Every structure is written in structure tokens, then in C-alpha cells.
Amino acid sequence: MNVKIHPSWASRLQAEFEAPYFQELTDFVRNEYRTGVCYPPGGKIFNAFDLCPFDQTKVVIIGQDPYHEEGQAEGLCFSVAEGVPHPPSLQNIFKEIEGDLGRPVPRNGSLERWAKQGVLLLNATLTVRAHQAGSHQGKGWERFTDAVIAHLSAERENLVFLLWGSYAQKKGLVIDRSRHLVLCSAHPSPLSAYRGFFGNHHFTLTNDYLISHQIDPIAW
């Protein structure tokens, strides 16, 4: 498969691209985009990888599904395009940053600025049908993103993985805790944010860890 993705990722994921499951996934996704409305836009399906090359990754945040309403998804978990109202989970992420670091809530909900600093904003499933949450789950994306996490765990050192909610925590079981910092808490959604997301101080803890390993911190 000739997948348009940053070269630093392409070389490591070539075995996935050549696997039969990925061919089936590609056929499914192409048909979905051809016959209906899907998100994110086709050119941004691998946006997280293009903005955050393998060797520049410092932090990994694991989401589940792209936003499924018009104009929201831009290929980065929890992020929305500039000018789009902040979804509830993103609002709560910004509230925690404000409480943790004293940074005011930004008007721009795009997290591209994080990605360009080395935060891989990885959804477990990279595409979705319009207005149908979870519609592209179980088609192969999860296997692909499991491989992404496994490569990072095995080939890098001193990364920070932020696992919010049980889904992300299960997906992170493969991470080598002796090589990386893994921070877990409740999910930032309104249903669970008050059960352990607020006050988790993950943004301070992330930067403290990076600094302790002579790595530039993230300007959250």
C-alpha cells in the first residue's frame, strides 16, 4: 500500500500497510468516503502523524473516535478546527489546564500547536461516518493504532502517555512502564470529568517528567 503519511512513520508501519487487514480497511474507507460523508477530510486522516513525526514525539494522548459533525474533525484527537465551538470534553481539558497551570482557556480549539511540539493526538479509529459515532470501529483501525503504540513503546524512551478513561487505558496495556511515564485518569467527558479528570495535574506532571529527562516541556 502507498499510504500518504510522514516518512518517519511510513518506514516503521510498512508491515501494517502491506498486511491483508489494512487492504480491507482501505477498501472499506474508500467506499465510505465515495458513497457518503465521512470525517475527517481525506487529506487529514493521518494528520496526527504528519504534524508529529516519530522521532519528535514526546507525549501521546489516546482518544477513541473522530468527531462526527460537520467541520469538527481535523485528524487530531479532542481537537476541532479553528472557529468551531469547543466540544464538552475539550472544554474540560482546557478547564483542567487552567486549574493546573493557570493558563486561560483559548478561543481556538485546534490542538495543532500541541502536535507541532511533539504531542501525538492519536484516535484509536481514524475515520467516522457523519453523524454516526463509532461507525468505523472494528474495521481494522484499532489494530493499526495498536501497532503505532507498540512501536513508540519499544523504540523510544521517556515518552509520556496520557490515558484518559477505560478505553484508552486498555489500549495502553502494551506500553512498557519501565521506559515511559503512563498517567491514567477518568475521561474528560462531562459524564466522568468530576470523577478524577479534574485535578489530575497531568499537564504539570508531564512537563516535570520531560524536564527531568532534559526534554523541552510542552506549552499547553
Span 25-48, pLDDT tens digits: 999 999 999 999 999 999 999 999
For the annotated catalytic residues, the residue numbers are: 65
Instruction: Residue 182: name the closest of 169, 191, 197, 195 by CA.
Output: 169
CA–CA distance, 6 with 13 (Å, rounded to integer) = 11
This prediction's pTM: 0.97
Query: How does pLDDT run across 71-115, given as a tens digit for each residue?
Result: 999 999 999 999 999 999 999 999 999 999 999 999 999 999 999
CB atoms under 10 Å from CB of 116, counted, come to 11
Task: Write out the three cell numbers for 182.
Answer: 503512563
